[in-house]
Amino acid sequence: MKNEIGSDNRIKEIQSKVFERLISHLQKRTDVQNIDLMNLSGFCRNCLSKWYSEAAKDEGLEIDYESSRKKIYGMPYENWKENFQKNTSEEQINKFNKSKN
C-alpha cells in the first residue's frame, strides 16, 4: 500500500477542505483580532477575503470584496466589526507598522 495522495482532483478536494476548516475556525475565534493575525502571520481575514475574490476572478467568476468578506467572516463585515472588533493598542499598531518594513 502506497502513501500517495492521488490525483490532482483529490489534492484540490483536500485543499478545499483544509481551507473551509480554516475559515470555520476563524469564524468561531472571534476573540482573535485581525491586527494580531497580521502581526503574527502576515495575513488576516481581510487578506483571505481579497484572495477569495482574486481566485474567483481567476476562475471567471465575479465575487466582489464585500461578498468575499461575508464568506470569510460568516456575516457581513460591519456586523463582525461592531460585535467583535476591539480597539487597537499603540503597541499593536507599532508592531504592525514595523512588520510592513
CATH number for the domain spanning 61: value is 1.10.3340.10
Q: Is the pLDDT of residue 23 over 50?
A: yes
The amino acid that residue 17 corresponds to is K
**What are the backbone dihedrals phi and psi of residue 60, each rounded to the nearest 5 degrees, phi first?**
85, 15
Q: Is residue 100 part of a domain?
A: no
Q: Is residue 2 part of a domain?
A: no
Number of domains the chain is built from: 1
pTM: 0.86
Q: Is residue 81 part of a domain?
A: yes
Distance CA 92, CA 101 (A): 15
Distance CA 16, CA 24 (A): 12
Which pLDDT score, from 0 to 100, does residue 99 have? 85
Q: Is the pLDDT of residue 7 over 50?
A: yes
Q: Is residue 51 part of a domain?
A: yes
Mean pLDDT along residues 52-66: 98
Give me the domain span that covers residue 31.
Answer: 8-95
Q: Is residue 3 part of a domain?
A: no
